[in-house]
Amino acid sequence: MSARILVVDDLAPNRHLLEVKLAAEYYDVVTATGGERAIEIAQTEQIDLILMDAIMPGLDGFESCRRLKKDPKTYHIPVIMVTALEETKDRIRGLEAGADDFITKPIDDFNMMARVRSMLRLKMVTDQLLSHTGHSTEDSRPVISGLENRRGRILVFEDHEKRAKQISDPLADIHDFRVIGDPSTINGVTKKDTDLIVVSLTSESFDGLRVCASLRFDQGTRDIPILAVGTPDDEAKFVRAYDLGINDTLMRPIETQELIARINTQLKRKFYADALMDNFNQNLEMVVADPLTGLGNRRYFDRAVQPLFNQLDQTGEIFSIVVFDVDHFKRVNDILGHDTGDEVLKEVATRLVTNMRAIDVVSRYGGEEFMIAMPNTRQDEALVAIDRIRALIGGTPIFVDGEALNITLSAGVAEASQGEKLRDVFKRADSALYRAKQSGRNQVQGADVKKAA
């Protein structure tokens, strides 16, 4: 199933336009005509991203965002403000209210989709952390309350001294900065010593986009938020940067309050994820995680899906189970070595997590095999969603030590039936996977429908 996006606008033509654009990219869209209704939907339904018009009668977008970000139930949902306002003070007002990004009308499709994908990646990672730690959004208030006034460690890639000072000087009393003029001279950046990376897209001595790509492919930096800085003429670069996985952008000439607001927004999200991860590490024995990928392992999956079987038997609420397998993985290990194989498995795990819904249970079941449980999803719906993910993963090379590897996956899908146990559904999904392998690999097969007893 696709990510669910809530579109909030009091004008029907605007809502319809965004709904059409997002539906064309296979997102599920929910709409609201005002702030009060938007908050109600966000609190009671599964929402992965909110596109919020800034100016609305009654409860406007700014106040709606402020309330969403104060509520632990909705704090972690990214909010993109959609507005015709171009004044810097309006962007600052939105950022201070908690908005994660801005889209200015008239909407540019490529720019919007790049920002949407960036925010959804962030949301999926946070949801996975929440599921692993056992935290609910409701009981995470102590985590949220501790995020304010934390000192961040910020790394700035900028080869122009004056431009670097424009970034570091206004925040020198609040955060710690390191300015690097040549990215090739620094090694070993990790989450332990860096909370945010600022990359200039206008530097003369290095390619800012290449730096962003390297940071995202490197295991030590892939989870560190990136703020890209450029000029209004760099719009195409910004879109490409979002596709590479950056988290936010800042336009020159830099306005100090906007700089502070954007940096603090990224740091708070980083600190929130770190707090969840700390909780995860403290409860590792309870969670039972796969040490290589960070996903739940077989024991975790078996325990996590049991409530789905109970609910199916009690209320008839359906769900499907997916068995994913990396094609020709033994050949990868034999030819390129187990270290390369491990990197492939970690990247496959990351791509699975970032393309599944928050409610889906994703685990590494063993070896090169991954298991996914998809609540509220029939087999035919799961087949469509999983085939899309298979194509996304197989369509983008995995880079290991600078070498591009074309990795494909096969999958089997089975819808659970009342009275079945996990082993029964697994057996049917695994048989479907076997047919996919026998039919040439790099495809998804559905299980034979279970006949009623």
106 prior amide bond cis, ω within 30: yes
Beta bridge partners of 179: 156
- Strands 319-326 and 361-366 turn out to be unpaired
* Residue 182 token pair: 């040549």
C-alpha dihedral over 178, 182, 188, 192, to 10 degrees?
20
> Among 360, 383, 369, which residue's Cα sits nearest to residue 445?
383
Three-state SS string over 91-130 comes to HHHHHHHCCCEEEECCCCHHHHHHHHHHHHHHHHHHHHHH
* Residue 315 token pair: 């209320």
Please give the Cα distance from 80 to 53 (Å, whole number). Answer: 9
Q: State the CB neighbour count (10 A cutoff) for residue 103.
A: 17
CA distances from 65 to 25, 53, 167, 225 (A): 25, 10, 26, 21
DSSP single-letter state for residue 70: H
Question: Residues 294, 291, 350, CA angle at the centre, nearest 5°?
Answer: 30
Q: Residue 439: which region, alpha, beta or left (left: phi > 0; alpha: psi -120 to 50)?
A: alpha
Which of the residues are catalytic? Answer: 368
**Cα distance between the two ends of the chain:** 29
* Residue 90 identity: D
Q: Where are the beta strands (DSSP E) in 158-212?
A: 176-180, 196-200
Place of tokens 């970000």: 69
Please give the Cα distance from 78 to 48 (Å, whole number). Answer: 7
* Residue 79 identity: V
- Strands 4-8 and 49-53 turn out to be parallel
Place of tokens 């300015």: 179
**SS3 of the chain: helix, strand, coil, percent, to 5:** 50, 20, 30
